[in-house]
C-alpha cells in the first residue's frame, strides 16, 4: 500500500519540512476555534522562513463538505496563509481525516494544495517518510471502517449534496461533534503506543518495506517510538486542541515539538 515512492525531494540546507494534524477547526465552538486558528497561522508565520514544505495530516477541519458551488463558511485565515505559501512556492500536502474526508477539488483548485485520502511515501533528502492520518488502519474499529466505506461511497455523497447547505452542513457538524463525544475520552489517553492500532499497522508495513519515519495524526497524543529493528520511527503528531504540537524534519532528524 505504501511501498511505492510517490515523490522525491531534496531538502535544501537550513530548510525543514513541517507536519501538523488535528486542528479540528470549527469545534467545539466559534470562539475556541478562532483562537486556535489564529495560533496556528501565527505558528505558520514563525516557521515560514525555514519551511521547505508543510504536511497537514488530517482533521484540519472538524467538518468539511464541498457542494458544487459552495463550501462551509469560515476558516478564512488559515486558507489565506495556505494560499500565500502555495503561491510563494512552498508546497502543501493535505490529508483527509475521519472528520474532513469529504474534500473534493476546492483545496487543489483554489489553493494549489495536493490532497491525499490514503497514506503516501515521500522521500526528503534521502529519508523515506510514510505519512497519513491513520484512521481505519490496523486491527479493530470495524464500526468506523464500515461507516467510512459508506461515507466515501460516491452515490451517498451525491445524495447528501442534494440537501440544502444550511441543512447538510448543520446536520453533519452535529454528527461530527457526536463522534468526538463518543470517542473523545480515549483520544487523550495513550498508555502504550506499541499497542495502538496505527502503530501495529505501521510496524507491519515497515517490516515489509522499511521507511525512516512513519508519521500519523488522529490519536491526539504526541508520541515517538522506534521500531524494534532500530531503523524506523513511529511518530504521532498530537493535536492543536490540547498540545499544539508539530513535527519538523531537519537535515538531521525529525523532532516533535
Ligand atoms: Mn482523526
Per-residue pLDDT tens, the chain, 257 aa: give them. 798 999 999 999 999 999 999 999 999 999 999 999 999 999 999 999 999 999 999 999 999 999 989 999 999 999 999 999 999 999 999 999 999 988 999 999 999 999 999 999 999 999 999 999 999 998 888 888 888 888 888 888 888 889 999 998 888 888 887 766 545 445 556 668 998 999 999 999 999 999 999 999 999 999 999 999 999 999 999 999 999 999 999 999 999 99
Asked whether the beta carbons of 42 and 81 are under 8 A apart, the reply is: no
Q: What are phi and psi of 256, to 5 degrees?
A: -100, 125
C-alpha 185 – ligand 1 centre gap (Å)? 13
C-alpha 14 – ligand 1 centre gap (Å)? 31
- The 3-state DSSP class for residue 165 equals helix
C-alpha 63 – ligand 1 centre gap (Å)? 11
pTM: 0.93
The structural domains of the chain, ordered by start, are 7-256 (3.60.21.10)
C-alpha 119 – ligand 1 centre gap (Å)? 13
- The 3-state DSSP class for residue 93 equals strand
| Residue 47, Ramachandran bin (φ over 0: left; ψ between -120 and 50: alpha; else beta) | alpha
C-alpha 70 – ligand 1 centre gap (Å)? 24
C-alpha 225 – ligand 1 centre gap (Å)? 20
Asked whether the beta carbons of 81 and 118 are under 8 A apart, the reply is: no
Quote the CA–CA distance of 88 and 59 in Å, as a whole number: 25
C-alpha 188 – ligand 1 centre gap (Å)? 12
C-alpha 159 – ligand 1 centre gap (Å)? 24
User: Which three cell numbers, joined as nine digits, stand for 43?
Assistant: 505558528
C-alpha 13 – ligand 1 centre gap (Å)? 33
- The 3-state DSSP class for residue 19 equals strand
Q: Pseudo-torsion of CA 84, 86, 90, 94, nearest 10°? A: 120
Amino acid at each position: 500500500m505504501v511501498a511505492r515512492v510517490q515523490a522525491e525531494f531534496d531538502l535544501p540546507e537550513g530548510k525543514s519540512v513541517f507536519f501538523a494534524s488535528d486542528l479540528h477547526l470549527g469545534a467545539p465552538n466559534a470562539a475556541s476555534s478562532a483562537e486556535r486558528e489564529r495560533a496556528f497561522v501565527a505558528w505558520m508565520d514563525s516557521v515560514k522562513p525555514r519551511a521547505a514544505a508543510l504536511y497537514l495530516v488530517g482533521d484540519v477541519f472538524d467538518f468539511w463538505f464541498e457542494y458544487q458551488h459552495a463550501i462551509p463558511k469560515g476558516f478564512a485565515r488559515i486558507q489565506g496563509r495556505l494560499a500565500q505559501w502555495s503561491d510563494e512556492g512552498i508546497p502543501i500536502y493535505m490529508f483527509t481525516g475521519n472528520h474532513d474526508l469529504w474534500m473534493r477539488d476546492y483545496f487543489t483548485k483554489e489553493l494549489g494544495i495536493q490532497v491525499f485520502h490514503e497514506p503516501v511515501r515521500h522521500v526528503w533528502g534521502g529519508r523515506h517518510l510514510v505519512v497519513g492520518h491513520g484512521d481505519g488502519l490496523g486491527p479493530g474499529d470495524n464500526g468506523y471502517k464500515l461507516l467510512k466505506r459508506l461515507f466515501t461511497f460516491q452515490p451517498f455523497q451525491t445524495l447528501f449534496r442534494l440537501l440544502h447547505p444550511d441543512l447538510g452542513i448543520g446536520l453533519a457538524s452535529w454528527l461530527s461533534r457526536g463522534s468526538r463525544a463518543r470517542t473523545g475520552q480515549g483520544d487523550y489517553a495513550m498508555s502504550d503506543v506499541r499497542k495502538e492500532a496505527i502503530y501495529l499497522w505501521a510496524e507491519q508495513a515497515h517490516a515489509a518495506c522499511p521507511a525512516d519515519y512513519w508519521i500519523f495524526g488522529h490519536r491526539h497524543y504526541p508520541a515517538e517510538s522506534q521500531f524494534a529493528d532500530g531503523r524506523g520511527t513511529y511518530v504521532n503528531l498530537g493535536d492543536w486542541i490540547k498540545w499544539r504540537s508539530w513535527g519538523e524534519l531537519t537535515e538531521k532528524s525529525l523532532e516533535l515539538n
